[in-house]
Amino acid sequence: MAEKTIEPNVIMENEEELENLMFSGEGESPLFSSVRVVRKDFSVFELYRKYNKNPRQLMLDVDFQRKSVWDPKQKRELIESILMGLPLPIIYLKQQNNATYAVVDGKQRLSTLFGFIDNKFCLKDLKILSFLNGKYFKDLTGDYGIYQSQLEDYQLYIHLILPPTPDKILFDIFDRVNRGGTKLNKQEIRNALYHGKGMDMISSVNRSQIFQKVTRIKYKDDRRMKGSYLITRFLSFYLLFENLLYKDGKPYNYSGDIDDLIEVSLATLNRMSDKDLQNLERLISESLEISNDILGDGAFRREMNRSKPINMNIFETTLYFMNLINNDKDFIPYGKIRLALKKTIMSDDFLDYIGNSRENTIKVHGRFGMMDELFRELHDD
């Protein structure tokens, strides 16, 4: 089989749903009545101490927002601004149920401050405090000691988002916070809200060689977390059909709200044992391997045509199907599997299930039901 070309631009069908930050609900009042955002200022040193505690109390090392970092000039100017006593924009933190904090807006500022305190860079090309050029944080002693204290004691303006603020409301908060520049999409927001071992597992799959090979999505070029969204969707439906989801202590009932399904699923993943998460990661990897072996360049695309963009509904149903046949793949010819799956995803019924209103309960159960039926046919043949 010819070597696949990794696509520099990540293209998916219907990817606009990632940008839609509208939330659903039976009315705004019940949702907004539980919104809790309070002002709680911290000094730079207080947050630095939380970041360095074991276990860590400030979650800063997450792949949040876009995959970009400040350049050295921006970092040095930030330090100079603080040493001059200038105010910084508000930083947003989300308090987790376990009293840790996730940085949801302000990662670059905090990582710059902590990096300077850790002596990872020195001041250079300062325009106003030019006498500090060449100084590391450790050098701010003696006559310069006032500047070390100034940095440590500097008060950061924090807006703290407290439980039980609904995640659907948080989507809107993020949207408002990030009016300038490129707005965050849903998956970027979820990456901060649900930071933990579940998201770490999804990121591991997203970075894996097999995911990049079979999807042709290169991780470093996927700046809006579309690959992560594909994996998250598959996991959400898998957990749903395995009856592993609960909400408010009751078995979860999918009502057609894909955002709610994903949020319940991500919370579930974070509660899972390390062993269960490892099993899920292995399940996904094996399903991707089989998809690559059987479908090649046409995997997850309409008509199995490599020139078409990835269809997220075909991706999730194909992985679901490949997991079903995993134990039978050695007894069913690959060519037969490929032809049968291609016929299914090109059928009028399947195309209707991934067309308009594709997330309603009838269409979701319809397309996954077709995968169950196809597996039974091949297994019993």
Those residues with Cβ within 8 angstroms of residue 220's Cβ, 6 or more apart along the chain or in another chain: 67
Helix axes 44-52, 145-153, angle to 10 degrees: 70
CA distance 29 to 248: 20
| Cα–Cα distance for residue pair 312/214, rounded to 1 Å | 14
CA distance 290 to 327: 11
Whole-angstrom Cα distance, residue 312 to residue 40? Answer: 41
Strands annotated E in the chain: 37-39, 42-43, 58-59, 91-95, 101-105, 155-156, 158-161, 246-247, 250-251
* CA 225 distance to own-chain centroid: 6
Q: What is the largest CA-CA distance in the chain?
A: 84
End-to-end CA distance of the chain: 28
Angle at 245 between CA 240 and CA 247, to 5 degrees: 130
Which three-class secondary structure state does DSSP give residue 374? Answer: helix
Burial 309-324 (b: 16+ CB within 10 A, else e): bbbbbbbbbbbbbbbb
3-class DSSP state of 326: coil
Q: Are 21 and 171 in contact (CB under 8 A)?
A: yes
Any residues with CB less than 8 A from the CB of 368 and at least 6 apart, and which?
A: 237, 241, 317, 320
Q: What is the pLDDT along the chain (381 residues), one digit of tens a residue?
A: 444 444 445 678 887 777 665 444 444 444 445 667 788 889 999 999 999 998 889 987 544 444 456 889 999 999 999 999 898 888 888 887 677 888 877 888 999 999 999 999 999 999 899 999 999 999 999 999 999 999 999 999 998 888 777 666 666 666 666 555 456 677 877 876 777 899 999 999 999 999 999 999 988 888 778 899 999 999 999 999 999 999 888 999 999 999 899 989 999 999 999 999 999 999 999 999 999 999 999 999 999 999 999 999 999 999 999 999 987 777 788 999 999 999 999 999 999 999 999 999 999 999 999 999 999 999 887
310 three-state secondary structure:
strand
Q: Where are the domains of the chain?
A: 15-19+185-380, 36-161
